[in-house]
Amino acid sequence: MSKAYVKKSKLLKATLGLKNIMGRHFLAIEQAIRDGTPTAWATSGTPVELLYAMDVQPMLPENSATISAARKYSQKFIELAEDQGFSYDLCSYFKTNIGAVESNVDVTIGGINKPTFMLSSDVICDTHVNWFQVQAERMNVPHFTIDVPHVVSNTNNRQYNYFKKYVAEQVWELLDFIQEVTGHEMNMERSKEVAKNSYDLSMVWQEIYELRKNIPCPISTKDTFGGLFPLFTMPGLKAPIKLYKRMYREAKARVDAGIGALEQENYRLMFEGIPFWYNLKYFAMLEKYGAIIVYEPYTYAFSKFMNPNVTKDMLLNKPIEAMSELMLSFWYIFDLKTRIQKFKETVDEWKIDGVLLHNNMSCRPNACGLYDLKRRLSDDYDIPCLIITSDMNDPRKMNETQVSNQIESFIEILHKRKKK
Partner 1 sequence: MKKIAYFDAGIITPEEILIAADLVPIRLLGNPNIGIDKANEHIPPTHCVWARNILEQAIEGLDSDIKGVIVTHGCDCTNREFDIWLECVDLDFMFFLNAPLKRDKTSLKFFVKDIKELITQLEEHFNVNITNEKIIEAIKLMNKIRNLLKEISEYRSKMTLKGSEFHHIVKNVQQKDKKEALKMLEDKLEEIKTRTPFTDKNLKKIFLTGSVIDDTEFIKFLESLGYQIVQDDLCIGTRYFWINVDETEKPIKALAKYHLSKPIYSTKVPSQKRFDFVKELAAKYNVDGVVNIAQKFCEPILYDHPFMAKKFKELKNPIPYLFIEMEYNRESYKQLATRFEAFAEII
Interface contacts to ligand SF4, rule CB under 6 A: 91, 93, 124-125, 127-128, 274, 362-363, 365-366
Torsion sign over Cα 177, 182, 186, 191: negative
Residue 358 CB, nearest approach to ligand SF4 (Å): 10
What are the DSSP calls for 158-183, one per residue? HHHHHHHHHHHHHHHHHHHHHHHHH-
Binding site partner of 162, from partner 1, ligand SF4, none, Cβ cut-off 5-8 A by kind: partner 1
User: How many chain residues are in contact with partner 1, going by CB under 8 A?
Assistant: 47
Judge contact between 240 and 201, C-beta under 8 A.
yes
Tell which one of 15, 92, 145, 214 touches partner 1 (CB under 8 A). 145
- The Cα 139–Cα 20 span in angstroms is 30
Separation of alpha carbons 360 and 397, rounded Å: 9
Contact partner at residue 370 from partner 1, ligand SF4, none, CB < 5 to 8 Å by partner kind: partner 1
Determine if 158 is a binding residue for partner 1 (CB under 8 A). yes
Among ligand SF4, partner 1, none, what binds residue 357 when CB lies within 5 to 8 Å by partner kind? none
Measured CA to CA, the distance from residue 21 to residue 292 in angstroms comes to 26
Measured from the CB atom, the residue of 74 and 197 that comes closer to ligand SF4 is 74
Whole-number Cα distances in Å, 276 to 68, 161, 280, 358, 360 = 12, 37, 6, 9, 9
Residue nearest to ligand SF4 (CB): 363
Pick between residue 212 and residue 374 the one whose CB is nearest to partner 1.
Answer: 374
Least Cβ distance, residue 317 to partner 1 (angstroms) = 24
**Cα–Cα nearest to 349, from 209, 156, 174, 231:** 209
Q: How far is the CB of 201 from partner 1 (least distance, A)?
A: 29
Pick from ligand SF4, partner 1, none: which does 413 bind, CB < 5 to 8 A by kind? none
* Binding test (CB under 8 A) with partner 1, winner from 1, 152, 188, 257: 152
Let me know: does 270 contact 343? Beta carbons within 8 Å.
yes
Nearer to partner 1, 155 or 206 (CB): 155
User: Which partner in ligand SF4, partner 1, none is near 290 (CB below 5 to 8 A by kind)?
Assistant: none
Residue 371 near which of ligand SF4, partner 1, none (CB within 5-8 Å, type-dependent): partner 1
- Please, what is the minimum distance in Å from the beta carbon of residue 124 to ligand SF4? 5
First to last CA, the chain: 35
- Indicate which single residue of 96, 127, 233, 299 sits in contact with partner 1 (rule: CB under 8 A): 127
Which residues does residue 146 pair with via DSSP β-bridges, in sequence order?
121
Distance of closest approach, residue 45 Cβ to partner 1, in angstroms: 14
Q: How far is CA 162 from the centre of its chain?
A: 27
Confirm if 54 and 178 have CB atoms less than 8 A apart.
yes
Q: Does 130 bind partner 1 (CB under 8 A)?
A: yes
291: which strand partners?
Answer: 267
When the beta carbons of 182 and 303 are compared against ligand SF4, the nearer one is 303
Binding range to partner 1, per CB under 8 A, among 149-157, 190-198, 225-233, 321-329:
149-157
Closest distance of CB 397 from partner 1, Å: 10
Give the residue with the Cβ less far from ligand SF4, 61 or 354: 61
CB atoms within 10 A of CB 15: 20
* Interaction of residue 153 with partner 1, rule CB under 8 A: yes
Q: How far apart are CA 45 and CA 104, in angstroms?
A: 26
346 to 385: interface string for partner 1, x by CB under 8 A: -------------x-x--xx-xxxxxx-------------
Note whether 359 and 379 are within 8 A (CB).
no
φ, ψ for residue 59, nearest 5 deg: -135, 135
Q: DSSP string covering 73-92, please?
A: -HHHHHHHHHHTT--TTS-H
The phi, psi pair for 57, rounded to 5°, reads: -85, 115
- In the complex, the residues that contact partner 1 under the rule CB under 8 A are 84-87, 89-91, 122, 125-127, 129-131, 133-134, 137, 145, 147, 149-150, 152-155, 158-159, 162-163, 166, 169-170, 173, 335-337, 359, 361, 364-365, 367-372, 389
